[in-house]
A = this chain, B = another copy of it.
Amino acid sequence: MNTQDLIKKFRKNGYKATSQRLAICKLILSRKDHPTADQIYQVLKEEYPTISLTTIYNTLRILVELGLIQELGFNEGSIRYDPDMELHINMVCSKCGKIDDYKAENIIQLWNTIISDLGFKPIGQRIDIYYECEECK
C-alpha cells in the first residue's frame, strides 16, 4: 500500500493523515520481523526526534482497527505487530523469540476444514509453531 492510498484510508475513516502516522505505517508495513512498539519507536526517533511512544501505540491501535496489521501477544510480556494479514504460520524461536512467517502448502486446506466445521466465519486466526532456531541450537 503506497502513501497516497494510506492517506486516503486514514481520511476515509475519520483519521488525520499526520506525518508521524504515515511514518509508523510505512515502517511497520515494510517489516517482516514483527517488531514491538518500542522497537518501532527506537527506529523512528532518528528521523522524528520528538516522536513519543504514546503516538506509536495510538497509531498501531488504529492500524489494527483498520485491518492493516495484527497484534500478537507473547509470553515474554510484549506485544508484537504483524503486517501479514494473510493466513500463515508464525515460526517462533522459544529461546530468542525470533519470529519468521511460514507459508505452508497445506495450511489453506487445514484452515478451510476447520472453519467449515465451525459454521461461521471467524474474525481472525493465529497459528504459531514453537521451535529452537539455528542460532540458538
Contacts and interface: CB of A to CB of B under 8 A. Distances in A.
> Chain A contact residues: over half helix, strand or loop, or mixed?
mixed
A104 interface: yes
Interface residues of A, number: 34
Contacts of A113: 104, 106-107, 110
A118 B103 CA distance: 11
A131 interface: yes
28 contacts: A72-B75, A73-B74, A73-B75, A73-B76, A77-B79, A89-B114, A104-B113, A105-B114, A105-B117, A106-B110, A106-B114, A107-B110, A107-B113, A107-B114, A109-B110, A110-B110, A110-B113, A115-B129, A118-B129, A120-B131, A122-B129, A122-B130, A124-B129, A124-B130, A125-B130, A126-B126, A126-B130, A127-B128
